[in-house]
Amino acid sequence: MFSSEAVLKQALETIELEAQSVAGLKAFVNDEFVKAVSLIHESKGRVVVSGIGKSAVIAQKIVATMNSTGTPALFMHAADAIHGDLGMIQPDDVVIIISKSGESPEIKFLVPLVKNFGNPVIALCGNDKSYLATNTDCFVNSTVDKEACPNNLAPTTSTTAQMVMGDALAVCLLELKGFTSRDFARYHPGGALGKKLYLRVSDMSKMNEKPQVKEDARIREIIYEISSKRLGATVVVDGNNVVKGIITDGDIRRMLEKHDEPNKLTAVDIMSANPKDIDESELAVLALEKMREYDITQLVVTLDGRYSGMLHLHDLVREGLI
Low-confidence ranges of the chain (pLDDT < 70): 185, 188-193
pLDDT digits (tens, 9 = 90+) for 197-224: 778 999 999 999 999 999 999 999 999 9
Fold match between domain 4-179 and domain 201-318: no
Is 77 marked as binding a ligand? yes
Instruction: Report the predicted TM-score, pTM, of the whole model to 2 decimal places.
Output: 0.70
- Number of neighbouring beta carbons within 10 Å of residue 201: 26
Whole-number mean pLDDT of the chain? 92
Angle separating helix axes 54-68 and 157-177, nearest 10 degrees: 20
Predicted pLDDT at 191: 64
Q: Is 259 exposed, middle or buried (0-12, 13-18, 19+ CB in 10 A)?
A: middle
In this predicted structure, what is the pLDDT of residue 169?
A: 97
DSSP 27-96: GG-SHHHHHHHHHHHH-SS-EEEEE-THHHHHHHHHHHHHHHTT--EEEEEHHHHTTTGGGG--TT-EEE
pLDDT for 125 equals 97
Helical packing angle, 31-42 and 157-177, nearest 10°: 50
Predicted pLDDT at 57: 97
**In the chain, where are the structural domains located?**
4-179, 201-318
Instruction: Give the per-residue pLDDT at 216.
Output: 94
Torsion of CA 64, 67, 72, 77, to 10 degrees: 10
**What architecture (CATH level 2) is domain 201-318?**
Roll (3.10)
pLDDT of residue 42: 96
Q: What's the CATH architecture for 4-179?
A: 3-Layer(aba) Sandwich (3.40)
